[in-house]
């Protein structure tokens, strides 16, 4: 199975990061609802390592999301 890629995610991940880095300054856990491909979760977890990310979605898309998450090998 090929890893899914969301082009809109690629376009908006940095603007989202720019806002979240200002708001998420303390250690904590982030629950991402409807993570889709999980590209945002991986991108943001790499840049905000003080946060623990929990990406969730419906069962039909979890295989693709897990590919992104497992490939990234992040501890958070």
What is the C-alpha to C-alpha distance for residues 31 and 67, in angstroms, rounded to an integer?
18
Give yes or no for residue 1 having a pLDDT over 70: no
Predicted TM-score of the model (pTM): 0.93
Residue 69's nearest CA partner among 26, 14, 52 is 52
Half-sphere exposure of 39 toward its Cβ, with a 13 Å CA cutoff?
15
Q: Which of 45, 41, 43 is nearest to 32 (CA)?
A: 41
pLDDT digits (tens, 9 = 90+) for 26-35: 999 999 999 9
What is the C-alpha to C-alpha distance for residues 52 and 28, in angstroms, rounded to an integer?
Answer: 6
5-52 pLDDT, tens digit each: 999 999 999 999 999 999 999 999 999 999 999 999 999 999 999 999
> Can you say whether residue 26 is alpha, beta or left, with left for phi > 0 and alpha for psi between -120 and 50 degrees?
beta
């Amino acid at each position: 199975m090929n890893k899914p890629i969301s082009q809109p995610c690629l376009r908006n991940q940095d603007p989202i990061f720019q806002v979240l880095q200002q708001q998420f300054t303390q250690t904590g856990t982030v629950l991402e609802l409807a993570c889709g491909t999980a590209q945002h979760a991986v991108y943001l977890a790499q840049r905000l390592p003080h946060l623990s990310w929990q990406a969730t979605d419906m069962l039909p898309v979890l295989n693709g999301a897990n590919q992104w998450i497992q490939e990234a090998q992040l501890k958070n």
